Structure 1
Amino acid sequence: MPDERIRTVVASLVEPTSHKEQKLQNLQSTYREALCEAFDANATTMTAVNDIVTPYDLPYQAKDALKRHVPGLL
């Protein structure tokens, strides 16, 4: 019978650095601004949401999420 070994990996989360925390807060704030503007403009199509969120400094994934979900929520 072959020698069988099992290893366990333990991971733990650490608090983000103050710089990373600030970046996350800025990203969340910008995302909320874009979301509110899209709702206030009653953007019911992906194109309309795209026109609103394009100028915001957000990652493309965040912009795509807004374009996909905002029209369905209105």
Structure 2
Amino acid sequence: MFHYFLCVLPLLNALISDVLVTQDCSDKALVTPAGWRFCVYMATSKDQKGRTYCKAVEYEKIAREYCAKSCGFRH
């Protein structure tokens, strides 16, 4: 259940950050160990076949966008 919660976070953040255009997209992920680990996990979590664990429609695209905005990761 906790894994699904982690999967929903980037989806919500991507949707909310598009609405709040005036707000700075960069959050405190770079300066918080937990935020940084979360972004590394989101950028690298794959199953043995190279697919993301979360199966939401366009999940991988949204996760990349989240990591790019929040953590500065570019793919």
Q: Which has the larger radius of gyration?
A: 1
Relative to the length of structure 2, the TM-score reads 0.31
Relative to the length of structure 1, the TM-score reads 0.31
Q: Higher relative contact order at CA 8 Å, sep ≥6: structure 1 or structure 2?
A: 2
